[in-house]
Amino acid sequence: MSIDSKIWAEFPYETEQYLGAALKKNWQRLHQGDCEPWPESEEIQQAWRLYHQGEFSQAYDLANKIGPQAHVVANKACGIYANHLETDDDIRINLYEDIAERAETAADVNPDDINAWYFQAFAYGRLGQLISITAALKKGYGNKIKTALENTLELEPEHAEANIAFGLYNAEIIDKIGKMIGSLTYGVSAENAIEHFQEAIRLTPESPIAQMEYGNGLYLLYGDKKIDQVTQAYIDASEVEPVEAMEILDQELAKSELE
């Protein structure tokens, strides 16, 4: 799929650039959510620097130039841009389809690649939100997401972003088709959702997205009955100290939910 990143909107904030050795020094903190291993390739390192400072278009283009070994940074740049900065839903659909295609190819090449599986779940989850969860389930996205997340967590149980996604998977299905049908058809439950969200927060206590999606999940599951906990989750997300572009965007979204 051909994606023209030159038309992408710019990241509107200032953030750390992680020049030179600073990237490796801070790698664990920057990748506590996705468990991506340190890349030995200097070109891939540079693509990650661009990504972390919000140069999503440049990171995406460089990663694609490097080739399949840079699929994770290409998908992360594309995904975070689509989530936060793209406003046209048709373009967003194209971006998520691009991610799904790249991730599926990577998983075919290396079934032990954690983030090849994770980004399949990410892409199909976001596509489902755009076309409606009900339509997504009819297309078979639910089973694709579940399989991809199960494979991710089997390979790396401490993948916080996969735990967040599994929490949302449970909560969104319950919200749309109910607890009983959701349990019988997809094996989901409110308890599973909460367990995955809380595990993500345990793994990444400094992550705004873990807190914010916990709030979103609580609202999907319980509505106004848990509004105080939902609000507190957004507050917690808004008070985290962001260290890179994605976290800034996640935090800004949490702040907007409190307005």
Residue 137 has pLDDT above 90, yes or no: no
Q: Look at residue 130 and give its three-state secondary structure.
A: helix
Which residue is associated with the tokens 């840079």? Answer: 70
Question: At a CB cut-off of 8 Å and minimum separation 6, what does 209 contact?
Answer: 33, 161, 164, 237, 246, 247, 250
Residue 155 has pLDDT above 90, yes or no: yes
- pLDDT bin (cut points 50, 70, 90) of residue 150 is very high
The strand ranges marked E within the chain are none
Judge whether 30 and 245 are in contact, CB under 8 Å.
Answer: no
State the fold for domain 9-258. 1.25.40
| 170 vs 146: CA distance, rounded Å | 10
What one-character-per-residue DSSP string does 180-245 give?
A: HHHHHHH---HHHHHHHHHHHHHH-TT-HHHHHHHHHHHHHHHGGGGHHHHHHHHHHHHHS---SH
Residue 185 has pLDDT above 90, yes or no: no
Sequence spans of domains, the chain: 9-258
| 130 vs 146: CA distance, rounded Å | 18
Residue 196 has pLDDT above 90, yes or no: yes
Residue 45 has pLDDT above 90, yes or no: yes
Task: Return the minimum-mean-pLDDT range out of 79-88, 109-118, 125-134, 141-150.
Answer: 125-134
pLDDT digits (tens, 9 = 90+) for 201-237: 999 999 999 999 999 999 999 999 999 999 999 999 9
* Radius of gyration over every alpha carbon of the chain, rounded to an integer in angstroms: 17
* Structure-block tokens of residue 115: 């983030």
Alpha carbon separation from 56 to 12, 61, 79, 118 (Å, rounded): 12, 9, 9, 19
* Structure-block tokens of residue 243: 């260290």
Q: Which residue, among 197, 196, 177, 179, has the nearest Cα to 188 in the 3D structure?
A: 179
The separation between CA 209 and the C-alpha centre of its own chain, rounded to angstroms, equals 9
* Structure-block tokens of residue 230: 């939902």
- pLDDT bin (cut points 50, 70, 90) of residue 1 is low
Alpha carbon separation from 157 to 53, 91, 199, 208 (Å, rounded): 28, 33, 10, 20
- pLDDT bin (cut points 50, 70, 90) of residue 2 is low
Which residue is associated with the tokens 């030179």? Answer: 20
- pLDDT bin (cut points 50, 70, 90) of residue 58 is very high
Judge whether 100 and 56 are in contact, CB under 8 Å.
Answer: no
| 149 vs 157: CA distance, rounded Å | 10
Residue 131 has pLDDT above 90, yes or no: no
